[in-house]
């Protein structure tokens, strides 16, 4: 090797003069590689690193907010107006549709409400199991009013980065306001709307998102024309702040259709398709208790598929029957079908509730009782809530407990034993009893001493914690007083049910036939209920005196 480049030419000269064949490789490739590895490669790696960080944040919609990514929530979806769906596409859910008509009226002409100073519906919360048509109904409202529809899922707002969800909510509402009147539909709202202030940490993001949602909703006025519709299957875990007036203050329960509802839904779907022969809808509805609207739509679809497979031109009863069986056994069906025995039990349970609710004046203004629901809440009885009350008297609390325990008491009376269906009932009744004894000073044994601190803001569902000064002795009195209140309410429920056995049987027969009863027919049956008020009160007072409670 030459020691320096200066020597190179003389070496070459020597070699050439000696007769050697000299070729010169000036190492250009090596230079290129050297250049790439010292300058380009680090740059590429840096750029990659940036891109990685960027994608990570951007996936969350941009901690680098202002970037258009999070605007994609609802973007381009708000253009439609519910996809041309109207109330005519919703069957077997008349009670829910009635509630939604007013929203339609408002959206169609918000100025009419503003002129009268009427407060518009701002938020409608739809409760019900999946597949019962919550999305469909929200779409139908948009379709009927001819306004844009913005569907989002609650889960889309929940991100690991604090602040992103809130930014998304802000952006979504900015977008919606610019095209108002419009509907925002938040599916699975429980993902954001869960009760705040839980013990577990790391909930900041969800809380911020929820707060932002509440702020946005508070910001509407009568003329804004924005209606937010939320849907959830878990009303029990929602933050109470969401359901306050001015937010989601209307609540619509969307349940699986009852017998008549199922007939209507089947008809709706079947009659849009070519059919042959008589279709016995009542028969199909009888064979599909507990089916949701989505299941029934699926039945008709399965029947059509069967026809395709059999190369038939029209759907007949045979295919529909087979389709019902397919959907029952199909993998898509959540939950299970109720057996007749279960249905009978649920009917008695619910009839017990409604009977005692009527006897103790705890029936909702629009009474309704249904055994069509399944899954989370088996049956359903519309009982009065405390929402519109500031003060609740002791006897009202006691009546509520009685009504709650009536389902279980009836089951025990009729079947000789209880079932697991009363879980939520006894939990709520127990909570009321505990409140009465430990917070409201409504028992004599404890007296007017609050043994429990209320850690929440609400009435029920807030966490009760023993006050610091309370010892185990007091807690055991609290426990026995709670148990005694529950026991007493249970007895009271049993008394009412026993006294009204005939009405009970009548209700059960109606429920087994129609699956749900509401309005006038229900009121007519319940008019026969013997509340035994005077006697019951007298007896209760005597028992209470003996037991040392104030009534």
Contact between 147 and 176 under an 8 Å Cβ cutoff? The reply is: no
**Closest residue to ligand ADP, based on beta-carbon distance:** 293
User: In the complex, what is the shortest distance from the CB of residue 294 to ligand ADP, in angstroms, rounded to a whole number?
Assistant: 3
Closest CA to 227 of 409, 105, 76: 105
Q: How far is CA 364 from CA 353, 358, 385, 452, 518, in A?
A: 12, 9, 8, 30, 11
Contact predicate 83/207, CB 8 Å: no
CA distance 501 to 414: 10
Pick 162 or 305: Cβ nearer ligand ADP:
305
Residues whose CB is less than 8 angstroms from the CB of residue 400 and which lie 6 or more positions away in sequence, other chains included: 362, 383, 429, 432
Closest contact distance (angstroms) between CB of 148 and ligand ADP is 18
In whole angstroms, the minimum distance from the beta carbon of 137 to ligand ADP comes to 7
**Which residues make beta-bridge pairs with 123?**
228
Using the minimum distance from each CB to ligand ADP, give the nearer residue, 171 or 302.
302
Catalytic residue check, 350: yes
Among 350, 411, 481, 515, which one carries the catalytic annotation?
350
Q: Please calculate the CA angle 226-232-234 and round it to the nearest 5 degrees.
A: 140
| Nearer CB in complex with ligand ADP: 131/438 | 131
Find the shortest distance in angstroms from Cβ 431 to ligand ADP.
Answer: 29
Compute how many other C-beta atoms are within 10 angstroms of the C-beta atom of residue 18: 8
Alpha carbons 83 and 150: distance in angstroms, whole number: 11
β 226-232/123-127 pair status: parallel
Long-range CB contact pairs, 473-479, < 8 A, 24+: 474/446, 475/451, 477/445, 477/446, 478/434, 478/437, 478/438, 478/446, 478/451, 478/452
| Least distance from ligand ADP to the Cβ atom of residue 368, Å | 16
> What span, in angstroms and rounded, lies between the C-alpha atoms of 84 and 286?
31
CB nearer ligand ADP, residue 213 or residue 265: 265
The torsion defined by the Cα of 381, 133, 211 and 80, in degrees rounded to 10, comes to -150
Minimum distance of ligand ADP from residue 82's CB (angstroms)? 11
59: Cα separation from own chain's centroid: 26
Give the contacts of 531 (CB within 8 A, at least 6 positions apart): 358, 359, 360, 361, 496
Q: How far is the CB of 242 from ligand ADP (least distance, A)?
A: 18
Closest to ligand ADP by CB, 260 or 412: 260
Question: Is the CB of 183 or the CB of 435 nearer to ligand ADP?
Answer: 183
Nearer to ligand ADP (CB atom), residue 132 or residue 452: 132
Helix, strand, or coil here: 250? strand
In angstroms, the first-to-last Cα distance of the chain is 113
CB of residue 226 vs ligand ADP: minimum separation in angstroms?
20
Interface ranges with ligand ADP (CB under 6 A): 90-93, 128, 130-136, 231, 265, 268, 293-294, 297
Nearer to ligand ADP, 94 or 412 (CB): 94
- Residues with catalytic function: 350
């Amino acid at each position: 090797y030459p020691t320096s480049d200066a020597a190179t030419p003389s070496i070459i000269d020597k070699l050439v003069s000696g007769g050697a064949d000299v070729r010169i490789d000036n190492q250009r490739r090596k230079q290129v590689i050297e250049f790439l590895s010292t300058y380009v490669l680090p740059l590429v790696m840096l750029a990659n690193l940036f891109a990685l960080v960027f994608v990570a944040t951007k996936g969350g919609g941009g901690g680098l907010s202002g970037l258009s990514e999070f605007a994609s929530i609802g973007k381009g979806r708000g253009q439609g107006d519910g996809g041309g769906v109207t109330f005519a596409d919703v069957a077997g859910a008349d009670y829910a549709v009635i509630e939604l008509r007013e929203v339609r009226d408002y959206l169609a002409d918000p100025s009419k409400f503003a002129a009268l100073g009427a407060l518009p519906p701002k938020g409608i919360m739809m409760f019900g199991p999946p597949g019962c048509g919550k999305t469909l109904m929200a779409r139908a409202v948009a379709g009927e009013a001819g306004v844009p529809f913005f569907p989002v899922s609650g889960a889309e707002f929940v991100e690991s980065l604090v602040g992103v969800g809130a930014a998304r909510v802000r952006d979504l509402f900015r977008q919606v306001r610019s095209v108002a009147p419009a509907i925002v539909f938040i599916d699975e709202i429980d993902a954001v709307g869960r009760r705040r202030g839980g013990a577990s940490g790391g909930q900041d993001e969800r809380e911020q998102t929820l707060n932002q949602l509440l702020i946005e909703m508070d910001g509407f006025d009568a003329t804004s024309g924005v209606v937010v519709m939320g849907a959830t299957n878990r009303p029990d875990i929602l933050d109470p702040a969401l359901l306050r007036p001015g937010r989601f203050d209307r609540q619509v329960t969307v349940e699986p259709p009852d017998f008549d509802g199922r007939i209507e839904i089947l008809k709706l779907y079947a009659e849009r398709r070519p059919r042959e022969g008589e279709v016995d809808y009542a028969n199909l509805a009888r064979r599909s208790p507990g089916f949701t609207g989505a299941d029934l739509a699926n039945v008709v679809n399965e029947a059509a598929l069967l026809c395709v497979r059999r190369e038939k031109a029209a759907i007949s009863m045979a295919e529909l029957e087979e389709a019902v069986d397919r959907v029952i056994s199909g993998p898509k069906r959540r939950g299970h079908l109720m057996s007749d025995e279960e249905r009978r039990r649920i009917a008695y349970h619910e009839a017990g509730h409604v009977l005692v609710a009527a006897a103790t004046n705890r029936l909702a203004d629009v009474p309704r009782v249904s055994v069509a629901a399944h899954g989370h809440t088996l049956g359903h009885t519309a009982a009065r809530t405390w929402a519109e009350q500031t003060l609740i008297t002791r006897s009202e609390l006691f009546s509520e407990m009685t009504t709650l325990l009536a389902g279980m008491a009836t089951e025990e009376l009729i079947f000789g034993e209880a079932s697991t269906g009363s879980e939520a009932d006894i939990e709520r009744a127990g909570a009321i009893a505990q409140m009465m004894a430990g917070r409201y000073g409504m028992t004599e044994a404890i007296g007017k001493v609050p043994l429990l601190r209320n850690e929440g803001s609400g009435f029920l569902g807030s966490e009760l914690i023993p006050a610091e000064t309370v010892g185990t002795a007091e807690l055991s009195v609290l426990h026995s007083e709670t148990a005694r209140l529950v026991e007493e309410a249970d007895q009271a429920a049993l008394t009412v049910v026993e006294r009204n056995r005939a009405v009970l049987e009548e209700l059960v027969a109606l429920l087994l036939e129609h699956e749900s009863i509401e309005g006038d027919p229900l009121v007519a049956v319940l008019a026969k209920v013997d509340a035994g008020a005077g006697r019951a009160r007298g007896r209760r007072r005597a028992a209470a005196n003996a037991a040392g409670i104030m009534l």
